[in-house]
Structure 1
Amino acid sequence: MIRSFLTVSTGTLASRLLGFARDSIIAALLGAGPVADAFLAAFQLVNVARRLLTEGGLNAALVPAWLRVRDTGGAVAAAAFAGRVLGTITTALIAATAVLALLMPLVITVLAPGFSGHETLQIAVDDARLMLPYLAFAGPVTVLMSLLNAQGRFALTAFSPLLFNIALIAVMTVLLLLRRRQDATGAAEIIAATVAIAGLLQLSMLVLRRGDAIATPLRVSFDAEIRGFLAKAIPGMVATSGPQLLMVAGVIIASTSPSAVSWLYFANRLIELPLGIVGVAMGTVLIPELTRALRSDDRTAVAYAESRGLELAVGLALPAMLGLMVLSEPVVRLLFEHGAFTAADTNATAQALTWLALALPAHVLVKALSPAFFAREDTLTPLLATLKGVVLALALAVVLGHFFGSGGIAAAIALGAWSTAVTLIRRGAETFGFSIDADARQRLPRMAAGALAMGALLWLTTRFVLPLAAGAHGLTQAAILAILIAGGIAVYGLFLRLSGITGWREAVNALRQKTPADLRE
């Protein structure tokens, strides 16, 4: 499982790093004004739909269903089931895309009520309509990726999302070079149209790959089997998009304040790096592992999968949270303070990032705990927990946003995330109990202690080092920041090694582990 986790995480890391480059160029082109707010609100809508589909949601429901059909009916029955799922979801999303295009003014008004009565509303509507074709491509992309994951083929699905960011970066680089001839509104429209083209590139990569047909014959069906699958898939898709839905709740309130949507968006992009590395891999790798263990009634395998998943989640989320809180301002300045993005935007974004970072462990815990429900084909419990967190965040954002601005809205989002995590912990303990083995009970407190030691040392170091480099060249500041981050990682790794949690030999052995035979079938 560790090897598969690292494969998916590496692909996600590469995609997130390219995402930083993408967002840095967006900040330079659009800044944090009305045009940026409109574009990012529209992009948030498409991004939520993308996450509903492509980053674990549909995968959480399709993998157990496909494995069950294959185990009971064989490969031909599994391919026929996959073909019906692929045809039905693709058709439904094409229809949904057309309906959303017609109703987009109403949709944007609901998601960003503060835009009403301003030119920002029409800009957001135009941008969103240009992005919408992406949804029609995202459906078949997700189904094909999930089927490959169910067979233990993680490499292609891990790296295909790179095309999305590569396409956007290529187009925006040209726009940046021609910025004197291109106004911000026109640049936003071109970027929005590129989003749809990027979706087509992802679909082409998966469709043109060589290999056996895994979804044939292709047809639309709403038979009892497909209806049962959709009844489990839709709640699971919503449940796995909790972080994005919480951001939508924040944007609804932030849209009433100039530039607040942009500040929250750019702050959240930094949260998505560690969340993506751990969270996406959790949904992609842990669900198949738990499903197989539960179907074979192997309690030892269930405990092992849940324990290692929780260790990986906590072991990476805590140091990432502390690092982002301590280095919020210099990281935001380095990545985004270029072109139209000002120093005032940096300060506001860093403040929002500090609060959003508190939500990171909660988000990752949800990603680690949800597969235990999904593998048991229970998608309703995570759905209700997610909706409860979103409602709480929305209510708190109204109050905290009024008194503390975008920072208060970010704090409300963090509290909503922790509400979801606590609900899942409580419901899981009541329903089936989490099978955490003895090794995890010993390692988790040591990981927490190591993260705190790393955070404290990093805080002390930054207070002495960063002020000395305040007037240095941008490359020098970037190098110093990179050294501080690398030093923090080294300190944390050394603490884990001295605590007996892991070492280089264990990591190498995990990478060399061969994939079990049933994953390659």
Structure 2
Amino acid sequence: MIRSFVTVLSGTLSSRLLGFGRDALIAALLGAGPFADAFLAAFQLVNVVRRLLTEGALNAALVPAWLRIFRQEGESRAAAFAGRVLGTVSAGLLIATLALALLMPLAMTVLAPGFAGDETLTMAVNDARLMLPYLAFAGPSTVLLALSSARGRFALAAFAPLLFNVALIAVTIVLLMQQPDPAHAALLLAATIGIAGLLQLAMLAQRGDRSTIAAPVRVAIDPAMRGFFARALPGMVASAGPQLLAVGGAIIASTTPSAVSWLYFANRLIELPLGLVGVAMGTVLIPELTRALHAGDDAALSEVQSRGLELTMGLALPATLGLMILNAPIIRLLFEHGAFSAADATATAQVLTWLAAALPAQVLTKALQPAFFAREDTQTPLRATLIGCGAAIALAFLLGQMFAASGIAAGLALGAWANAAVLLRRGAASFGFAISSATRRRLPRIAFAAAIMAAALWAVAAVTLHAAAGSHFGAALLLAGLIGGAIMLYAALLLVLDVVDWRQTLQAIRQRSPGNLPAGDLHL
């Protein structure tokens, strides 16, 4: 499991770092005014559907179903099932894309009611329509990547999303050099998003083994396929909880100038640790849990759940505290360029503090959901997500009236914690979480190590950060040193507190997951 986790972690980290570069360039190009608000509101819409499909969400439904058919009925039946899923998802998304293009003015009015009656709404509609082709292409791509994960081949699923960010970065750099009108630049970026989906699908289509993974490809509306999608759609919505929270925040923020942009750019910092954990959990943990459940191996089930919880919280706690302490210098370094002003950076940093408070809850949710998905229970995570989103929107609206964008972010954080609390209560009541005694011993030590690291980081940052004021290069070096030093201190504390054993960890990374697929399985 550790080897697979590291593979997915590496690909996701690469994608997230490229995403930071992409967003820094977009901020410099569009700033935080009406052009950026329109583009980012449109991008939120496309991004939610993209996250419903990618980043492990489809795995929550497809992987357990495919593994069950593979073990009970054989490879040919599993391939036929995958072919029906591939054909039906592709056709359904194509129809949905065309319908959404026609209804885009209504959709954007719902998602950004503050834009109504303003030119910003027209710009958002035009941007969103140009982005929509990505959704049609993302469907078949995601099915193929999910099947790759089911086969235990995680590298392609981890690194395929890089192409999306590479395409946007290349186009944005060209636009920055040409300095076009912001409205025209936003349209070109939106069109690039649509083309990026085609490029990713074309890359997957070049693989010669795709025809035996999902064959024959056809559209099906038989009872078995209807039952699969009835289970799949709730799980996909539940997996996109953080993105739904972001959309809810954008709906409320659309009435405040630039607030949509502040929330978006702050949320991008949250998505680095959340994406690392969420993708790895969705791509790795669900197949591992499903295998343990099908084998009736309680010891393996406890080990997988325990290791997943340790890995997620071990990443989330230091990331949360680090983002709270270094929020302002990080935002200034990444986004305070070109049209993105110092006032925008200050407002975004304030929003980031509150969004960071939601990170442990969102990561905990990502660790808890696979226990339900592996049992093909998608309704419970869906209910928890809807409860969390409802609480978040109500609280964000209330607090936003009093504290503007920071209040909206605080409401979203409270909603994320409501989601996690519902999952904890329902999981404990339904089947109990099989957490090993070793994990119960190590979790408090992880929290203690993160607290010591945060105290040291705060003390050193308070003394040194002012030295690099006014110099982006100096600030970058200092931040890199602070972050690197904090990581090293945290790692040393985990070692001293006997949370990790480096020899065992390296051995686990080198060791391939034994899996349960016969030799000769296809390699994506």
Q: Which residue is equivalent to 1:161? A: 161
Q: Which is further off, 111-120 or 210-219? A: 210-219
Q: CA deviation at 1:301?
A: 0.6
Q: Which residue is equivalent to 1:103? A: 103
- Partner Cα separation in structure 1 for residue 134 and residue 308 of structure 2: 32
Please give the TM-score of this superposition, normalised by the length of structure 1: 0.98
- Partner Cα separation in structure 2 for residue 50 and residue 9 of structure 1: 19
Q: Which residue is equivalent to 1:336? A: 335
Q: Which residue is equivalent to 1:177? A: 177
Q: Which residue is equivalent to 1:196? A: 194
- Partner Cα separation in structure 1 for residue 213 and residue 478 of structure 2: 49
Q: Which residue is equivalent to 1:486? A: 484
**Per the alignment, in what secondary structure is the counterpart of residue 245 of structure 2?**
helix
CA contact (8 A) 1:57 1:233 kept: no
Find out whether 1:209 has 2:207 as its counterpart: yes
- Partner Cα separation in structure 1 for residue 109 and residue 447 of structure 2: 43
**Per the alignment, in what secondary structure is the counterpart of residue 518 of structure 1?**
coil
**Residues 232-284 of structure 1: CA distance to partner in whole angstroms, max 9, x if unpaired?**
10000000000000011111100000000000000000000000111110011
**Per the alignment, in what secondary structure is the counterpart of residue 103 of structure 2?**
helix
Please give the TM-score of this superposition, normalised by the length of structure 2: 0.98
Q: Which residue is equivalent to 2:466? A: 467
Q: Which of residues 511, 514, 519 is equivalent to 1:513?
A: 511
Q: Which amino acid aligns with 2:81?
A: F
- Partner Cα separation in structure 2 for residue 503 and residue 441 of structure 1: 17
**Residues 470-514 of structure 1: CA distance to partner in whole angstroms, max 9, x if unpaired?**
24x211110001000001101100100001111332221111112
Poorly superposed stretches of 4+, deviation over 6 Å: none
Q: Which amino acid aligns with 2:466?
A: P
CA contact (8 A) 1:128 1:192 kept: yes
Q: Where do residues 261-410 of structure 1 align in structure 2 (5 Å cutoff)?
A: 261-410=260-409
Q: Which amino acid aligns with 1:115?
A: F
- Partner Cα separation in structure 1 for residue 362 and residue 263 of structure 2: 17
Q: Which residue is equivalent to 2:23? A: 23
Q: CA deviation at 1:464?
A: 0.4
**Per the alignment, in what secondary structure is the counterpart of residue 57 of structure 1?**
coil
**Per the alignment, in what secondary structure is the counterpart of residue 499 of structure 2?**
coil
Q: Where do residues 443-454 of structure 1 align in structure 2 (5 Å cutoff)?
A: 443-454=442-453
Q: Which amino acid aligns with 1:354?
A: T
Unaligned runs of 5+ in 2: none
CA contact (8 A) 2:244 2:389 kept: yes
Q: Which of residues 491, 494, 497 is equivalent to 2:495?
A: 497
CA contact (8 A) 1:56 1:237 kept: no
Q: Which residue is equivalent to 2:69? A: 69
Q: CA deviation at 1:517?
A: 4.6
Count of residues in correspondence between the two structures: 518
**Per the alignment, in what secondary structure is the counterpart of residue 209 of structure 1?**
coil
Q: Which residue is equivalent to 1:226? A: 225
Q: Which amino acid aligns with 1:216?
A: A
CA contact (8 A) 1:32 1:341 kept: yes
Q: Which amino acid aligns with 1:474?
A: H
Q: Which amino acid aligns with 1:397?
A: A
- Partner Cα separation in structure 2 for residue 350 and residue 137 of structure 1: 35
- Partner Cα separation in structure 1 for residue 226 and residue 139 of structure 2: 17
**Residues 435-479 of structure 1: CA distance to partner in whole angstroms, max 9, x if unpaired?**
0001101100000000011111111111100012224x2111100
Q: Which residue is equivalent to 1:79? A: 79
- Partner Cα separation in structure 1 for residue 49 and residue 27 of structure 2: 23
- Partner Cα separation in structure 2 for residue 361 and residue 340 of structure 1: 33
Q: Which residue is equivalent to 1:437? A: 436
- Partner Cα separation in structure 2 for residue 318 and residue 517 of structure 1: 31
Q: Which residue is equivalent to 2:90? A: 90
Q: Which residue is equivalent to 1:121? A: 121
Q: Which is further off, 195-204 or 510-519? A: 510-519
**Per the alignment, in what secondary structure is the counterpart of residue 370 of structure 1?**
helix
Q: CA deviation at 1:178?
A: 0.5
CA contact (8 A) 2:152 2:515 kept: no
**Per the alignment, in what secondary structure is the counterpart of residue 165 of structure 2?**
helix
Q: Which amino acid aligns with 1:429?
A: A
- Partner Cα separation in structure 2 for residue 456 and residue 378 of structure 1: 41
CA contact (8 A) 1:52 1:238 kept: yes
- Partner Cα separation in structure 1 for residue 256 and residue 504 of structure 2: 50
- Partner Cα separation in structure 1 for residue 59 and residue 203 of structure 2: 19
Q: Which amino acid aligns with 1:80?
A: A
**Residues 208-239 of structure 1: CA distance to partner in whole angstroms, max 9, x if unpaired?**
12336200001000111111110110000000
Unaligned runs of 5+ in 1: none
Q: Which of residues 181, 187, 197 is equivalent to 2:185?
A: 187
Q: Which amino acid aligns with 2:208?
A: R
Q: CA deviation at 1:65?
A: 0.5
Q: CA deviation at 1:518?
A: 2.0
